[in-house]
């Protein structure tokens, strides 16, 4: 009869330990999914094409960082 009680106690501890492992497993899965979604949301999953020097020059001109004369001079140098 004592063996039966030990078996129940032992299996109860195993299921408790197993429950913790399953809980940790699901926590790690959720964290992994959250990180994956964040990575994809920030554009890390999509390849970004690099901007050409002319596109960068156009943006600088549009923001007013360079004058029209500077833009034309640099554009000639690039082309």
- Our count of domains for the chain comes to 2
Identify which of 35, 77, 37 has the alpha carbon closest to the alpha carbon of residue 57.
Answer: 77
Q: Does 64 share its domain with 75?
A: yes
If we measure between CA atoms, which residue out of 79, 39, 38, 74 comes closest to residue 58?
A: 74
Q: How high is the pLDDT of residue 1?
A: 47
pTM listed for this prediction: 0.41
Domain, as residue range, for 36: 1-46
What does the mean pLDDT of the chain come to? 80
Residues 10 and 37 in one domain: yes
Name the token pair of 70: 């500077």
Give the residue from 31, 22, 74, 19 showing the smallest Cα distance to 52: 74
Confidence of residue 43 (pLDDT cuts 50, 70, 90): confident
């Amino acid at each position: 009869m004592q063996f039966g009680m030990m078996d129940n106690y032992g299996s109860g501890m195993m299921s408790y330990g197993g429950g913790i492992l399953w809980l940790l497993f699901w926590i790690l899965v959720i964290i992994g999914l959250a990180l994956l979604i964040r990575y994809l949301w920030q554009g890390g999953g999509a390849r970004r094409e690099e901007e050409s020097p002319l596109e960068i020059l156009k943006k600088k001109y549009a923001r007013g960082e360079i004058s029209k004369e500077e833009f034309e001079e640099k554009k000639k140098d690039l082309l």
